């Protein structure tokens, strides 16, 4: 699967600019667990107040990466856990026999942030939400590229985001509790600067998942100097190569 990344916008723990991510790729900064939040000044204050940290970092990256195309671009939003902090609060309310907030419930579902993006930008183009366990980043990327190629889109927006799970779920998750959102403006492959993604099934399956988020591996590769990224997950072998002519 060949494609071009026209724009990459990422936001994570202690890293909010291209320079931050370049330094991260060169191992000049360590992974921080402090998550600053984007201001999202382009959105009305009444809408911003309703947004969780998960929604804010996701929407920031989506809006910045889509730019002038945000009103009509097709998109894929991917996340392993979605806004699990909001869902956890709803579950606690049920356990405590408290009334549930319809607004909080509506914003907790897996495609909620994609819906907020489409509403704010008045975008009626196709949108899908993906969840695929530890492979959510790359499977979402596969879905975006496949849609672009199948339907002949001139470009597509791909957004991945996740937060560290709430404390009482951490014992069930192998991956480190990192917070990350990344949005890619993707165009069809050409002869100038292509990325190529390949994957095969992991047979037999590995016993344990990786502790590193695939999105962070991707960003280290994207902002670094390596020409190839190879990742083993529990179920797949992923290979992403860069060919700049």
pLDDT tens track for 188-198: 987 666 899 99
- The backbone torsions φ and ψ at residue 23, rounded to the nearest 5 degrees and listed phi first, read -65, -35
201 domain-assigned: no
- What pLDDT, on the 0 to 100 scale, is given for residue 194? 87
239 domain-assigned: no
184 domain-assigned: yes
- What pLDDT, on the 0 to 100 scale, is given for residue 244? 67
State the residue range of the domain holding 29: 2-195+210-230
144 domain-assigned: yes
Mean pLDDT, the chain, rounded, equals 89
237 domain-assigned: no
> How much is the average pLDDT of 168-194?
85
pLDDT tens, position by position, 85-134: 878 888 887 887 887 777 777 777 888 899 999 999 999 999 999 999 99
- What pLDDT, on the 0 to 100 scale, is given for residue 30? 67
* Weakest-pLDDT range from 97-111, 131-145, 175-189: 97-111
Please work out, in degrees rounded to the nearest 5, the angle formed at the alpha carbon of residue 123 by the alpha carbons of 120 and 124: 135
Model confidence at 61, pLDDT cuts 50, 70, 90, reads very high
205 domain-assigned: no
**How many domains, the chain?**
1
* Weakest-pLDDT range from 75-79, 118-122, 170-174: 170-174
* Weakest-pLDDT range from 104-108, 162-166, 237-241: 104-108
204 domain-assigned: no
Beta pairing, strands 180-188 & 127-130: unpaired
Enter the pTM of the model.
0.92
Model confidence at 60, pLDDT cuts 50, 70, 90, reads very high
The 3-class SS string of the chain reads CEEEEEEEEEEECCECCHHHHHHHHCCCCCCCCCCCCCCCCCCCHHHHCCCCHHHHHHHHHHHHHHHHHCCCCCEEEECCCCCHHHHHHHHHHHHCCCCCCHHHHHCCCCCHHHHHHHHHHCCCCCEEEECCHHHHHHHHHHHHHHHHHHHCCCCEEEEEEECCCCHHHHHHCCCCCCCEEEEEEEEECCCCEEEEEEEEECCCCCCCCCCCCHHHHHHHHHCCCCCEEEEECCCEEEEEEEEEC
- What pLDDT, on the 0 to 100 scale, is given for residue 47? 84
- What pLDDT, on the 0 to 100 scale, is given for residue 23? 92
- What pLDDT, on the 0 to 100 scale, is given for residue 78? 97
pLDDT tens, position by position, 4-17: 999 999 999 989 99
**Please, how many CA atoms are within 13 Å of residue 3, restricted to the half-sphere of its CB?**
27
CATH of the domain at 47: 3.40.47.10
Sheet order of strands, 156-162 included: 127-130, 75-78, 156-162, 180-188, 2-12, 193-201, 236-244, 228-232
- What pLDDT, on the 0 to 100 scale, is given for residue 193? 62
- What pLDDT, on the 0 to 100 scale, is given for residue 192? 65
Residues 6+ apart with CB under 8 A from 88: 166, 169
pLDDT tens, position by position, 27-53: 877 667 688 899 998 888 888 888 999
pLDDT tens, position by position, 221-235: 999 999 999 999 989
Give percent above pLDDT 70 in the chain. 96
Structure tokens at 214: 């695939």
């Amino acid at each position: 699967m060949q494609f071009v990344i026209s724009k990459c916008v990422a936001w994570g723990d202690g890293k909010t600019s291209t320079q931050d991510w370049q330094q991260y790729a060169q191992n000049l900064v360590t992974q921080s667990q402090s998550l600053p939040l984007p201001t999202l000044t382009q959105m009305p204050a009444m809408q911003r107040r309703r947004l969780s940290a998960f929604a804010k970092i996701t929407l920031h990256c989506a809006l910045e990466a889509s730019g002038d195309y945000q009103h009509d671009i097709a998109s894929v939003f991917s996340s392993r856990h979605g806004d699990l902090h909001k869902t956890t609060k709803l579950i606690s309310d049920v356990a405590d026999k408290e009334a549930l907030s319809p607004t909080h419930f509506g914003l907790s579902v897996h495609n909620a942030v994609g819906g907020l993006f489409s509403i704010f930008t008045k975008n009626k183009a196709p949108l899908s939400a993906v969840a695929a366990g530890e492979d959510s980043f790359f499977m979402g990327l596969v879905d975006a590229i496949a849609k672009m190629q199948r339907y002949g889109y001139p470009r597509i927006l791909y957004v991945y985001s996740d937060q560290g799970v709430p404390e009482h779920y951490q014992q069930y998750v192998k991956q480190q509790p990192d917070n990350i959102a990344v949005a890619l403006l993707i165009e069809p492959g050409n002869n100038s600067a292509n990325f190529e993604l390949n994957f095969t099934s992991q047979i037999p399956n590995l016993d344990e998942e990786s502790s590193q988020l695939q999105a962070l591996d991707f960003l280290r590769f994207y902002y670094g100097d390596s020409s190839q990224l190879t990742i083993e997950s529990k179920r797949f072998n992923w290979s992403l190569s860069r060919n700049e002519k």
